[in-house]
Amino acid sequence: MRITMLGTGAAFPDPDRAQSGILVTLDNGRHYLFDCGAGITRNMVRANVSPSEVTAVFLTHLHHDHVCDFPQFVITGWMWDRQDSPVVIGPKGTQHFVSHLFEGGAFKADFDARSYYARRKTNLAAVRPKVIECEPGIAYQDEHVTIRCDWVEHIPREISECFGIRFEAEGKAVAFSGDTAPCESMVRLAQDADLLIHECTFPQSFIEHRKKSGVGIFAHTSPTELGQIAARARVKRLLPTHFGHFDSTSALIKRIARHHFPVEEMGPHLMDDVVRDIRKHYAGPLQLATDLLRVDL
Ligand SMILES: [Zn+2]
Ligand SMILES: [Zn+2]
């Protein structure tokens, strides 16, 4: 199988990265998408894959940086002659999110305009996604893949559920954390995986800063903690992702982020610190994710 990192950034628009999105392509050509943050559909096209050909989308949680390209993904599939309904798997609230987008929803005017054309009337299924709100356990299965999921620790569950996943196909296992603080469920999902794709949103100093600043969520995994998780789960390969702009050189991001981060510390040199801290505990193959990075398993 082939893994294409469509987006490796976090909640801010980032000049260097799209938001969260991972495409898994089986040897038989079937595609599965994990998360659909801003910029994912465009990067999918850059990777030479049509949104109309993606079988299923798993949304790990409903933070905007994991879902806000979903309308673009679905409407593009509709315009590009998709015939079936995309399957969307996600936490509680996914049905609400999807039901309020297309017919009668936020994109009603687009739906009314486009469905006026004869050819678009023939594939309305493409803009009527089938939603599965998952529970911990097997979230989705077809003759090619099994997707297991479990709750992770990012947003209090009574506010909004967040899932990590384990994707199994072709005798291989890939685990993806979504967004989370270190948690036992992720260690279990990642056990002996061929590849662990795990969030690494902030260095430790940024997490500490955010705990005090009262801005946004600080339930993320530090590089040192990620090294411990990868070592405990005995993963064969580690791909940290969902980088929270801490390495940015953008003057605008630095100016805007001053209430969020210790901006005087920001810069690409922090990626060296990330690797150093992961290496305190994990000695296996390690690569920091970048947009459009391809991994063959
Ligand atoms: Zn996120
Ligand atoms: Zn999040």
Among the bound ligands, name the one nearest to the CA of residue 91: 2
Tell me, in angstroms, the distance from the centre of ligand 2 to residue 217's CA.
Answer: 8
In the reported structure, the alpha carbon of residue 242 is separated from the centroid of ligand 1 by a whole-number distance in angstroms of 7
Ligand number nearest CA of 152 is: 2
* Neighbour tally for 264: CB within 10 Å: 8
Q: How far is the CA of 165 from the centre of ligand 2 (A)?
A: 15
Per-residue pLDDT of the chain (297 residues; tens, 9 = 90+): 999 999 999 999 999 999 999 999 999 999 999 999 999 999 999 999 999 999 999 999 999 999 999 999 999 999 999 999 999 999 999 999 999 999 999 999 999 999 999 999 999 999 999 999 999 999 999 999 999 999 999 999 999 999 999 999 999 999 999 999 999 999 999 999 999 999 999 998 888 888 787 776 679 999 999 999 999 999 999 999 999 999 999 999 999 988 888 899 999 999 999 999 999 999 999 999 999 999 999
Distance, CA 77 to ligand 2 centroid (Å)? 26
Ligand whose nearest atom lies closest to the CA of 216: 2
Tell how far the Cα of 88 is from the centroid of ligand 1, in angstroms: 18
In sequence order, what are the residues at sequence separation of 6 or more whose Cβ sits closer than 8 angstroms to the Cβ of residue 44?
A: 4, 6, 21, 23, 33, 50, 51, 54, 73
Q: Among all ligands shown, which has an atom nearest to the Cα of 7?
A: 1
Q: Which ligand approaches the C-alpha of residue 37 most closely?
A: 1
- Ligand 1 (ion): residues with CB under 5 Å are 65, 179
Q: Is 252 exposed, middle or buried (0-12, 13-18, 19+ CB in 10 A)?
A: exposed
Q: What is the C-alpha to C-alpha distance for residues 88 and 129, in angstroms, rounded to an integer?
A: 7
Give the closest residue to 62 by CA, choosing from 28, 136, 9, 11: 11
229 alpha carbon – ligand 2 mean position (Å): 19
Sign of the CA dihedral 123, 20, 35, 46?
positive
pLDDT of residue 261: 85
- The pTM of the full predicted model, rounded to 2 decimals, is 0.97
| Ligand 1 midpoint to CA 154 (Å) | 9
Closest ligand, as measured to the CA of 62: 2
CB count in 10 Å sphere of residue 96? 11
CA atoms of 292 and 234, how far apart (whole Å): 26
Taking the centre of ligand 1 as the mean of its atom positions, its distance from the CA of residue 213, in whole angstroms, is: 18
- Measured from the alpha carbon of residue 181, the closest ligand is 2
User: Quick one: which ligand is closest to 218's CA?
Assistant: 2
CA distance 203 to 220: 10
Distance in Å, CA 65 to ligand 2 centroid: 7
CB atoms within 10 A of CB 111: 20
188: amino acid identity, one letter: R
CA of 63 to the centre of ligand 2 (A): 5
Query: How many angstroms is it from 120 CA to the middle of ligand 2?
Result: 34
Neighbouring residues of 70: CB distance < 8 A, sequence distance ≥ 6: 36, 57, 59, 88, 97, 98, 101
Distance (angstroms) between ligand 1 centre and the Cα of 217 equals: 10
| Ion ligand 2 nearby residues (CB, 5 A) | 63, 179
Give pLDDT, residue 113. 97
